[in-house]
Structure 1
Amino acid sequence: MSESNIFTIYGTDPFLIELKRDEVFSELKKNNFFIREIFFNNDKTFKFESLYQENEASLFSEKKILDLRIYSPITKENTEQFIDFCLKLDQENSLVLSIYNIDRLTTKKWFKEISKISKVQEVKKVYPNQFRNWVIEQYKKNSLDINEENINLLIEKTQGNLLAAMQEIKFLKLLNASTNFLMEDSSDFEIFNLSDSIFSSDLENSLKILQNLKNKKTPEPIIIWFLYRELERLILIKEDKNTFFPGPKSYQSNLKKKSDSLKLDFIVELKMELAKLDRDFKLGRSDFWKTSEQVLIKLCNPQFFSKTPA
């Protein structure tokens, strides 16, 4: 075990924790960590045996990220086992701990112990009077040079919602936005009509909209961005039922219903399919629109692709 391969992220805002976690993942990928296993510690019944199994050295020496998300305190009974696991972490693995809104966290014995052997990052809440500076910081991180008019429009449009703001920024980056690009130009894409169809499990209409987008020669990266965004939202709703997204009440309601109807593993598999589609498309090795149709079919009718989707 070495300090460099254990990362501890903690805070009160699930989205900001996810954002910081993604930054850690991006850095690890630069060091050839491409395999990730996700574990959830939601209650006292969590067993560390599965972590020990994943930590066992691979015959092929594959570098692996163990992504442990902690929603409830490690019990006194499990503290010793937890620290032992961290100390015995294989050099070919990295452990990323995400700790969500646990009261008096810094006073916990297990947290004090893990702080001694990991890189600890506290993710602080972004208050309304800090929102503008946070948005500007994200522009810089994403190498976007956008004028004051665009910044003001984004702030007005997202109303302090960090997730919505970040998704707009990703969208602008995807479009290679410049100082001459106005965000209102991005709001009229028919692609956003897909959300209601997908979350209402209306396959026929979803495929019709996708065909219209194809006929209009909508850039393929926009389709990938949209589908990936919706999958991310499904996961975030699973992690926190109170997560809010801008839009009509029907959108929020249908989003929650769809999230409840799908297993987390099923959503993660779809994200992996999208990542493969993105990679293959860039290399000219896939029928982009046909594969996108297959993803839509799975989202609308998961019961045909998973024995227990719910």
Structure 2
Amino acid sequence: MELKPEQLAAQVASEPLRPAYLIAGPEPLRVLEAADAVRAAARAQGIAEREVFEAEGNQREPDWNALEASFRAPSLFASRRLVELRLPGGKPGKDGAEVISGFCADPPQDVSLLITCGEWSKQHGGKWSEAIARVGKVAIAWQVKPHELSEWIERRLRARGLRADRDAVQSLAERVEGNLLAAAQEVDKLALLSDGEPIDLARMQSLVADAARYDVFRLVDAAMNGQGAQVSRMLAGLRAEGEAVPGLLGMVVLELQRGAALARVHARGGNLAAEFKAQRVWESKQPMYRRALQRHDARRWDAFVAQAGRVDRMAKGRESGDAWIALERLLLAVAETRAARLLAAGA
């Protein structure tokens, strides 16, 4: 049975740890919090030892032989262990599927397996995920749809001991525009600022910041996440607010250079996890970069950086052209592979 991450988090806190858990999906916050709930339950049940397996060096997959050996090896420091397997792409391949299925067929009594995936669809599952479901739990963190956001926020408010009327909840949903991390941060802020009284619309508006402001950070995130329509809307908002292209380009160039560096490591089969660390990319944002890397190769990322230089020259009057149009074409090309022709048209 497929659970929601929030259901899994509630269950794991009140029952003995199962042999295996699979938490996957495109919503990083929900995956992270459900995995944290499993880790917290493990600690509460006296499981102090933890091992983590993910791709390293030139490998595109974890060391399956080492993982299989770890399942059968005795614990060095504790009677029970939590073994974590991180699969950002959501597919273990043939060898990995066999190792996972073998584990589930005869789970060691001293090991609980936690698998997290940054991507998921019906094509990602298979006999290996079905094997996990038979002995453990499977939770899929689908993105919260616009009509579901208010309910998600209301549940989070209740979990923090807060009460808000429908208009207040809807107002917060409109401010965060589907960004669950922003919504979670605002709820945490409300928990600190509220005096326990019910929150109406006026009070909500006075307590929370306008998280839906069109800022450059969210603009770049939209481009990296492949949200072309949102890119255009945010750029229009920034322009209407009186922002200038040179003021936006610093962050845009930084992210494009970061993408280019990651793409070069990815192209040569290098240690992408280490490069994420070197580039100071938070774990919650890594799935966004991985999706962007799947859309464009290293050569195209270098072209994006070069085009950003042209936009800068346009903005400073050193090259002819409309800097706003050129910037939009650039970010749309980052967001959507098919929009690359717009970039070529502006060359």
TM-score by length of 2: 0.49
Residue matched to 2:305 = none
Residue matched to 1:159 = 177
Of residues 123, 136, 145, the one that matches 1:104 is 123
Task: Label 1:151 to 1:24 Cα distance change in 2 as closer, same or farther (>3 A).
Answer: same
Task: Label 1:142 to 1:160 Cα distance change in 2 as closer, same or farther (>3 A).
Answer: same
Task: Label 1:40 to 1:59 Cα distance change in 2 as closer, same or farther (>3 A).
Answer: closer
Residue matched to 2:148 = 130
Distance 1:48 1:41 in 2: 10
Where structure 2 has 5 or more consecutive residues not aligned to the other structure, the ranges are 1-15, 211-215, 239-247, 263-273, 284-347
Aligned residues of 2:49 and 2:77 also touching (Cα < 8 A): no
Alignment-mate amino acid for residue 23 of structure 1: A
Q: Which has the larger radius of gyration?
A: 2
Alignment-mate amino acid for residue 52 of structure 2: I
Residue matched to 2:101 = 83
Indicate the SS of the match to 2:172: helix
Task: Label 1:176 to 1:94 Cα distance change in 2 as closer, same or farther (>3 A).
Answer: farther
Alignment-mate amino acid for residue 48 of structure 1: W
Map Cα deviations across residues 23-69 of structure 1 (whole Å, 9 max, x no partner). Answer: 33333333234554433369864322343465433333164432222
Cα deviation, residue 158, structure 1? 0.4
Task: Label 1:114 to 1:135 Cα distance change in 2 as closer, same or farther (>3 A).
Answer: same
- The answer to whether residue 48 in structure 2 is matched with residue 38 in structure 1 is no
Task: Label 1:65 to 1:175 Cα distance change in 2 as closer, same or farther (>3 A).
Answer: farther
- The answer to whether residue 165 in structure 2 is matched with residue 143 in structure 1 is no
Distance 1:33 1:267 in 2: 32
Task: Label 1:62 to 1:263 Cα distance change in 2 as closer, same or farther (>3 A).
Answer: farther
How many residue pairs match? The answer is 225
- The answer to whether residue 209 in structure 2 is matched with residue 187 in structure 1 is yes
Alignment-mate amino acid for residue 97 of structure 1: I
Aligned residues of 2:19 and 2:136 also touching (Cα < 8 A): yes
Where structure 1 has 5 or more consecutive residues not aligned to the other structure, the ranges are 189-195, 200-232, 272-310
Alignment-mate amino acid for residue 187 of structure 1: A
Indicate the SS of the match to 2:54: strand
Distance 2:133 2:192 in 1: 37
- The answer to whether residue 30 in structure 2 is matched with residue 16 in structure 1 is yes
Task: Label 1:258 to 1:168 Cα distance change in 2 as closer, same or farther (>3 A).
Answer: farther
Cα deviation, residue 104, structure 1? 2.0
Indicate the SS of the match to 1:105: coil
Indicate the SS of the match to 2:76: coil
Residue matched to 1:292 = none
- Provide the aligned C-alpha RMSD in A: 4.6
Aligned residues of 1:73 and 1:102 also touching (Cα < 8 A): no
Distance 1:243 1:173 in 2: 33
Alignment-mate amino acid for residue 151 of structure 1: V
Aligned residues of 1:9 and 1:122 also touching (Cα < 8 A): yes
Task: Label 1:51 to 1:267 Cα distance change in 2 as closer, same or farther (>3 A).
Answer: farther
Aligned residues of 2:75 and 2:81 also touching (Cα < 8 A): no
Distance 1:186 1:263 in 2: 36
Residue matched to 1:95 = 113
Distance 1:54 1:183 in 2: 52
Indicate the SS of the match to 2:18: helix
Mapping for residues 127-276 of structure 1, pairs under 5 Å: 127-148=145-166, 150-175=168-193, 178=196, 179=198, 182=204, 184-187=206-209, 241-242=224-225, 253=252, 254=254, 263-264=275-276
TM-score by length of 1: 0.54
Map Cα deviations across residues 233-278 of structure 1 (whole Å, 9 max, x no partner). Answer: 9xxx8xx95288999866964577679797556799x99xxxxxxx
- The answer to whether residue 70 in structure 2 is matched with residue 51 in structure 1 is no
Distance 1:177 1:40 in 2: 44
Residue matched to 2:41 = 27
Cα deviation, residue 136, structure 1? 0.9
Aligned residues of 2:90 and 2:124 also touching (Cα < 8 A): no
